[in-house]
Amino acid sequence: MAVLIDGKKLAERICAEVAREAAKLPRKPCLAAILVGDDPASEIYVRNKERDCLKCGIDSRRFDLPAGTAQEELLSLIDKLNRDGAVDGILVQLPLPEHIDESAVIDAISPDKDIDAFHPLNVGKMITGEPTLWPCTPAGIMEMFREYGISLDGKKCVMVGRSNIVGRPMGLLMLRENGTVIYCHRRTPDLAEMTRQADILVVAAGSPGLITGDMIKPGAVVIDVAMNRDPDTGKFFGDVCFDEVEKKASFITPVPGGVGPMTRAMLMKNILTAAKISLKQM
């Protein structure tokens, strides 16, 4: 039976550490969160981030823009926040309305205030191994590995999913720790053949029940990033068939309570890091 990786408990400890470090700074770190439109899920995400900021001793400013906001108006707001010395992190909640170019918005955020770590400059620094802000979900998973003493050195690491938010950066961070990384995606033939080789299996495909018990090798570490919601019951579940896989894995993350809390905690840590960078430059 696998050891359950308690992301919620670890996230609470990280947030407490952020709060202690934030209290030592000459001013509170500050997050500016921008929400365009009235998507219910996005509203929940932004509200949760506001609560996390309060818990961590971080100020938060919220900017609610109507769905019909012109791209130029959004970019103008981002430029204003880039130049505001009291703002350390800028977060534009995705997805954006179809008429707004997501890439242009990401590129407009100052790399030093890019707490999601989506800006091309931060991505490039991650690839070359330079110090930078890391994407929150992959960074949270790396914290889990450290907390539970899971070494990636020389291990075969299989990443199912190749999104810019999770899959691609996750593979790069595992490579930094000397893992041998294999990327899998919807065009990968015989996915099970690949996943059965994995010492470390990270799944972020958004495909409920994709990974079954017969698709992993005994003793594998299994990280389930997905958060799928049953429309009938409202319950959340991942891409991994938990009951089957738990019996064979050595470590496994639950859904919910695994990766999700760590993503939010690492966002708080990124705001703290961005504030320290800003204060050093002042």
Q: Are 29 and 59 in contact (CB under 8 A)?
A: yes
Question: Is position 269 annotated as part of the catalytic site?
Answer: no
The answer, yes or no, to whether residue 282 has pLDDT greater than 60, is no
- Paired with 202 in beta bridges are 159, 223
pLDDT tens figures, 2-51? 999 999 999 999 999 999 999 999 999 999 999 999 988 889 889 999 99
The answer, yes or no, to whether residue 60 has pLDDT greater than 90, is yes
Single-letter residue type at 188: T
pLDDT tens figures, 222-269? 999 998 888 888 888 999 999 999 999 999 999 999 999 999 999 999
For the chain, the straight-line distance linking the first and the last C-alpha, in angstroms and rounded, comes to: 52
Catalytic residue among 59, 88, 93, 155: 93
Residue range(s) of every CATH 3.40.50.10860 domain in the chain? 26-110
For the chain, state the CA radius of gyration: 19
Question: Is position 116 annotated as part of the catalytic site?
Answer: yes
Residues 26-110, CATH architecture: 3-Layer(aba) Sandwich (3.40)
Q: Does the global pTM surpass 0.75?
A: yes
Tell me the residue length of the chain: 282
Contacts of 125 (CB under 8 A, 6+ apart): 131, 132
Average pLDDT over residues 218-225: 98
At 248 the pLDDT is 97
Residues 136-260, CATH architecture: 3-Layer(aba) Sandwich (3.40)
Start-end of H helices in the chain: 7-23, 40-55, 71-82, 102-108, 120-128, 136-147, 167-176, 191-195, 242-245, 259-281
Residue range(s) of every CATH 3.40.50.720 domain in the chain? 136-260
Catalytic residue among 114, 116, 224, 239: 116
Q: Are 8 and 140 in contact (CB under 8 A)?
A: no
* Cα gap 155→165, rounded to integer Å: 23
Contacts of 83 (CB under 8 A, 6+ apart): none
- Paired with 149 in beta bridges are none
Question: Is position 93 annotated as part of the catalytic site?
Answer: yes
- Paired with 61 in beta bridges are 32
Contacts of 275 (CB under 8 A, 6+ apart): 22, 25, 29, 30, 88, 89
Average pLDDT over residues 100-110: 97
Coil, strand or helix: which one is 28? coil
CA 269 from centre of chain: 12
